[in-house]
Structure 1
């Protein structure tokens, strides 16, 4: 039986999204495809699959990403799809533990990709907000005020995500230093 669920996660909460997908798999709802805030599941054996997410360095069609996806498929992982640059994989739990990161250094590298994405988006939204607000103060058009406030709100939200991810990275680095 196939079912589709709609659920939204912030980019910086990818670990919560992954935990939810693994909880669904533990109940026997196996992820088969993904879309923007859309997840399709098929009924299977409880705990049959483990699910992992990764923010690729490039879009999936890029040769480097395609090579990485092919490498993971050679290890027994199944590529389920991508949303922008977020790739979704699943692997049978009978094949052993499924981890995309072998150590904290690779986890930090993944968080750095997310930080770059969030930082660029937040900075661009701040610039657009300033441009719209200066247009409002220069001409008095309310469209500039509304656009500026919307962009400023988005920029603040992205900045929160950036700081949240940076905190995760700091904790991982501290943990890494403990084991060195």
Structure 2
């Protein structure tokens, strides 16, 4: 087994990386906060896909969805928070969770709706921590909250860029969809 520490802020890049690893014969078997575990296998044996569930994996609707995907011949590899990882043997044919414009647009909107509140929370926390750090810091000499604010600003910046990229992708797909209708 091989463990790789890597962080992604874009699920498409993560999915592509998992498929690139599979092409090299490293089959993804589990995930835990930025740590991927792989086992040696046949190069190109699997195709990997990721999905953001509507609800937590323990919820009956999520379990039903996971079972539905498994009935198509895919294997549920792992879940992390609301993200679920699937794989399917390449020999069984193509493996796409979203093949038409409407379903892809809906999915990207779901991902954007997941990211948007996280962005707002980090922006609010950044402002609040900056205020606390500067006002309390001047009285007590502690600027800890100001430093935490920097982390919140960084996270908010990354999430904002992600959100903008998904919104642009949604708009592009909507325009493409209109061209083909």
TM-score (norm 1): 0.89
Judge conservation of contact 1:6–1:38 (CA < 8 Å) in 2.
yes
Which residue pairs with 1:172 in the alignment? 173
1:89 aligned to which of 86, 92, 103: 86
Give ranges in structure 1 of 5+ residues lacking alignment: none
CA distance in 2, matches of 1:47, 1:105: 29
CA distance in 1, matches of 2:151, 2:34: 22
CA distance in 1, matches of 2:2, 2:144: 42
> 1:90 is paired with a residue of what secondary structure?
strand
1:78 aligns with 2:75: yes
CA distances 1:119-175 after superposition (whole Å, capped 9, x unpaired): 101111111222223334544352343233332232222111111221121222122
**RMSD of the alignment, in Å?**
1.7
Give ranges in structure 2 of 5+ residues lacking alignment: none
TM-score (norm 2): 0.89
Of 54-63 and 145-154, the range deviating more from structure 2: 145-154
Which residue pairs with 1:9 in the alignment? 8
Of 125-134 and 76-85, the range deviating more from structure 2: 125-134
Judge conservation of contact 1:91–1:98 (CA < 8 Å) in 2.
yes
> 2:70 is paired with a residue of what secondary structure?
helix
